[in-house]
Amino acid sequence: MTALSDSLATVRLSSPSLSHIWQTAYETAHPAAMWRLPLQTEKQLIVHLGDTLTEQPTDLDERPPGFAIGLFNSASATHNEASAYYLQADQHYVADAPGTAPGSVQTRHLTHTAVGEAFEQAVWRVMQQDSPASAATSFAEVPDPEAQANFEATVAEAVTEMKAGNFWKVVISRTKTLDFGQQPDVTVLFDRLCAAYPAAFVSAVFLPEGTGGQPAQIWLSATPERLVSVDANGLFKTVALAGTQSAYYPDGTLKRTADALWSQKEIEEQALVSRYIIGCFKKIRLREYHEEGPKTAQAGNLMHLCSQYSVDTRAVNFPQLGTVMLRLLHPTSAVCGMPRPEALAFIQAHERHNRGFYAGFLGPVNIDAASSLFVHIRCLKLAGQTATLYAGAGLTEDSDPQKEWLETEMKCQTLVRGMR
Ligand SMILES: C=C(O[C@H]1C=CC=C(C(=O)O)[C@@H]1O)C(=O)O
């Protein structure tokens, strides 16, 4: 070995990468979550060393530092509990923090118990293996000849019901399958999504076999939609995001957000989400909210209409606002519909797949005195070498089935392009 490669080996062995830690969590079957907040460089990874995860009501005020991931159709849909699986930050690592060398990992917190020490030793063992993770990151789409006809038939049925006045909006989703040929390297895909979508919340969550009675699953996402967040100064934020168009002209040039034109159908679709949020503020008699928008916002290859809402929870003396709004909002009409019970019943009766964590919510809780939960869209579930992408479209009585199909295709492309 030359002097140079000697010193590189020393650097590699003295500091694990996020990939080594992720791989260790996977091999030792400990739940793990890795994320990068919008417009930040810092990547965080936590590992849960405790008991098997179970679904519990989310209470942002009571939880120790960790990461919540909730199903679309959890008890929250009917009981307003915003139930979620909660990964505790027993081991907490940070990479790419401002002012540090790219890729260098700092330890934020370690648990000094036998389990914690066994985990750190396992990380060292993974580091010493030649290739800590599989290098596969290319994939092919698996054709599904019936998918479009099935989706369009469901959209047509929803339109008939909305014209009959049974509900005003519903979000219908579909899946697309990708085959990686072998189990892909999740940290490479995560890094690509971080680089492609600086304004998104990018995350990867590993839930070992047995979580919720399911086989092992990994969820990877780059979502543009904040559900609720409360920062270290007590500033609460949420958004109403809906309406979709490509961020590019047909010749491939990028549109300016100011040049995006929206149809009446899209304006109404987004207004319904705004109305739903304002309805939640009204329910708790909160008048002191600040509203901005709707404005056009770019989300990777797409553009949406977005209104932002904020509340100074200290000024209104409402420290639990994050938890209260999370329970009222989930699932919002950006992923379910309005009125919620009727839209949910239609989704349950007509979608051919189980949404699982798609259209649920996820994000860090009480990390650096802040919590940021996002709507889990633009996501995929990885099981072995197969990925299932999920995408939905908000329908109103003016929806055109073929256009809605094309919209879900564009939404699938967010991850497909970002992972290439
Ligand atoms: C349900 C999804 O997107 C939501 C968020 C923004 C715009 C949407 C729309 O235009 O339909 C959806 O409500 C999804 O990406 O799967």
Pocket test for ligand 1, best of 377, 408, 414 (most atoms within 8 A of CB): 377
- Ligand 1 centroid – CA 394 distance (Å): 6
- The CB of 242 under 6 Å from ligand 1? The reply is yes
- Ligand 1 centroid – CA 350 distance (Å): 18
Structure ipTM over 0.85, yes or no: yes
Indicate which residue's Cα is closest to atom 4 of ligand 1.
334
Distance CA 109, CA 92 (A): 5
Instruction: Specify the pLDDT at position 304.
Output: 97
- The CB of 243 under 6 Å from ligand 1? The reply is yes
Distance CA 91, CA 112 (A): 10
Instruction: Specify the pLDDT at position 76.
Output: 47
Distance CA 89, CA 372 (A): 15
Fold of 140-199+229-353+384-419: Anthranilate synthase (3.60.120)
- The CB of 127 under 6 Å from ligand 1? The reply is no
- Ligand 1 atom having least distance to the Cα of 333: 13
- Ligand 1 centroid – CA 335 distance (Å): 6
Indicate which residue's Cα is closest to atom 1 of ligand 1.
392
- Residue 186 in this model has a pLDDT that exceeds 90: yes
- Ligand 1 centroid – CA 277 distance (Å): 16
The backbone torsions φ and ψ at residue 114, rounded to the nearest 5 degrees and listed phi first, read -60, -40
- Ligand 1 centroid – CA 131 distance (Å): 38
Mean pLDDT, all residues of the chain? 92
Q: Are strands 105-109 and 371-375 parallel, antiparallel or unpaired?
A: unpaired
Per-residue pLDDT band at 12 (split at 50, 70, 90): very low
Q: What is the pTM of this model?
A: 0.94
In the chain, where the domains are located: 140-199+229-353+384-419
- Ligand 1 centroid – CA 376 distance (Å): 10
- Ligand 1 centroid – CA 391 distance (Å): 8
- The CB of 171 under 6 Å from ligand 1? The reply is yes
Burial class (CB in 10 A: 0-12, 13-18, 19+), 32: buried
Instruction: Specify the pLDDT at position 8.
Output: 38
Residue-wise pLDDT tens digits, 308-340: 999 999 999 999 999 999 999 999 999 999 999
Residue-wise pLDDT tens digits, 87-141: 999 999 999 998 888 888 999 999 999 999 999 999 999 998 866 455 567 899 9
Residue percentage of the chain with pLDDT more than 90: 87
Closest CA to 337 of 160, 150, 147, 162: 162
Are the C-beta atoms of residues 44 and 92 closer than 8 Å to each other? yes
Residue-wise pLDDT tens digits, 340-361: 999 999 999 999 999 999 999 9
User: C-alpha angle 394/246/139, rounded to 5°?
Assistant: 90
